[in-house]
Amino acid sequence: MRLHDDLIAKDIGAYLEAHEHKSLLRFITCGSVDDGKSTLIGRMLYDSKMIYEDQLASLEADSKKMGTQGKDIDFALLVDGLAAEREQGITIDVAYRFFSTQKRKFIVADTPGHEQYTRNMATGASTADVAILLIDARRGVLTQTRRHAFITYSLGIRHMVLAVNKMDLVDYDKAVFDEIVAEFHAFADELGPDLEIEPIPLSALKGDNITGPSEATSWYTGPSLMEYLETVPVDDARRSAAFRMPVQWVNRPNLDFRGFSGQIASGTVCVGDRIKTLPSAKESRVARIVTMDGDLEEAIAGQSVTLTLEDEVDSSRGDVIATADSPPEVSDQFQVRVLWMSERPLLPGRKYIFKIGAKQVRGTVNAPKFAIDINTLSDEPARTLELNEFGVTTISLDEPIAFDPYNEIREMGGFIIVDRLTNDTMGMGLIDFALRRASNIHWQELDVDRNALSEQKGQKPAVLWFTGLSGSGKSTIANQVQKRLFAMGRHTFVLDGDNVRHGLNRDLGFTDADRVENIRRISHVAKLMADAGLIVLVSFISPFRSERQMARNLMSDGEFVEIFVDTPLDVAEERDVKGLYKKARAGEIKNFTGIDSPYEAPQAAEITIKTLEHSVDESAEAILRWLQQQEIV
């Protein structure tokens, strides 16, 4: 190697070492459609390469082959490339881009501005320290501007750049800039006193106030965008918080090694520290901190490690290892804030999957306490949440989890909501606190239990769940089955959809959300009756598979019998005993199953009754024969 090559290598090595120890800032660009996000990112990436090359200007020209090709990049082509991504459908993703300047490293979450992709913006914001909120100077503050500001604030971002872009298209008019800033401040003042806003007039296309001051805005004396991003203080709250590490997997390659692997969510852990595993609350001490590069004496938030413990502690994926002195809370009921991300509305009472860290658990979202109006930030009454709506509600999980409030430790208080059947992401949520009743209400054990009540009646409890279209004959067949069971000396009760809506469920309508709540309530009533040793005949349209599955899950194995009363829609409509189909066709009844609301037929019902082929008596006889074969009666 030539001498000057050796010097170049040393200089670059020194630069890379310094680069490795720079602080890292994560930020997100957001705002409405066509506010100039792609152009801004293109300009920042291009100009940052200029800065990077200026840092190496003293090196030999052939150092260019070692990664300093900034001058070979055409800015217009770079911006066109980013715009092409939008046209190719990449708007449904979050593009994370990395670049560096002399003072700091950056990761930018490039998110789309379209309203239907708000979910992607929220994903990018969930890990960001700073939000760059773009506003087109010609259009001013829009609803999407307010929505993105509200969501980024709710997700914990407290530093926001109000980037008033395209100032060149309004002749760099200071009055336009001042008016936009004043309008946004009037809105942002309602978000919270801890939000720091830095308004900057920009032209991303021409580079005004991106890396340095612009002569076109001589009236502006604040920092350029890059100056702000290089100097804004980042409070790494994760490192100062108590130690938390969600267990991602249990590492046991042989009988001599058992470790718990995961990424440290917050705090610091050292060899010898006393820890507690949650929710089991077992205590031990850290024996080793293992990494791919060897053992450590200490590890901090953001590092992925494997911990071995001094004691044999039973812990699994989704559990949390925490400092024993200040462990997280454990609960199964919470007040939460939810951003709904699906075109299908929230159905309170429906079972969803909740992903919290590495933990997956089933649970339900209850009816919202209120939704938040994005424009006024006022609380509005709500029975459900639609796409991009933000509301406050409560959730109930099927098992307890370890958590911290989202505002204290993001990674321990954030979750996503997933549809159990389609695996689609439906929403994201932030835990505020555990409900007090979660720890104050306990199951009361009774001396006369369900087994004793069943033996007293000389029968096995069961829930016979009749489902089918309106007019299919569910109630008629259920009534006939009950008469025969009664004649056999069996103890029964019929829960009929129309009858229940006269009392227990009289407050419910026929929207999808109300139908879900209707079935949730009746499922729990049916379970209580089965606990009393009864054979319960439930006759409800119950149009959704998810709710019928929820009802099945409440019962003991073998006690739930799904009976599909299979009648074609045209036949049910012909019968129209109650005149409901006629009204639905005329538009007088909304959300009518089979007309403008779907019916999801069972895929594996225990019994299917085809009413075109069998009479009521034959159908009842077939059901009784099946029950006898299964030794239920």
Q: Are 403 and 432 in contact (CB under 8 A)?
A: no
* Maximum mean pLDDT: which of 248-262, 295-309, 499-513: 295-309
Give the model's pLDDT for residue 76: 55
Give the model's pLDDT for residue 104: 85
Q: Mind spelling out the 3-state secondary structure of 235-263?
A: CCHHHHCCCEEECCEEEEEECCEEEEEEE
What's the chain's average pLDDT? 85
Mean per-residue pLDDT, 376-405: 91
Q: How far is CA 289 from the centre of its chain?
A: 31
Q: Do domains 3-231 and 238-323 have the same CATH topology?
A: no
**DSSP summary character for residue 605:** -
Domain boundaries, the chain: 3-231, 238-323, 329-435, 450-629
- Enter the CATH code of domain 450-629: 3.40.50.300
| CATH number assigned to the domain with residue range 238-323, chosen from the 4 options 3.30.930.10, 3.40.50.2300, 2.40.30.10, 2.40.160.40 | 2.40.30.10
H/E segment holding residue 274: strand 274-278
Q: Are 75 and 42 in contact (CB under 8 A)?
A: yes
Burial class (CB in 10 A: 0-12, 13-18, 19+), 306: buried
- Enter the CATH code of domain 329-435: 2.40.30.10
Query: In terms of CATH architecture, what is 3-231?
Result: 3-Layer(aba) Sandwich (3.40)
Name residue, tokens 């055409």: 74
542 is catalytic: yes
Give the model's pLDDT for residue 55: 45
Assign 90 a pLDDT band (cuts: 50, 70, 90). Answer: very low
Q: How far is CA 88 from the centre of its chain?
A: 26
Assign 349 a pLDDT band (cuts: 50, 70, 90). Answer: confident
User: Which of the following is catalytic: 542, 546, 556, 615?
Assistant: 542
Percent composition of the chain: helix, strand, coil (DSSP 3-state, to 5):
35, 30, 40
Give this prediction's pTM. Answer: 0.70
Least confident stretch, 196-200, 492-496, 544-548 = 544-548
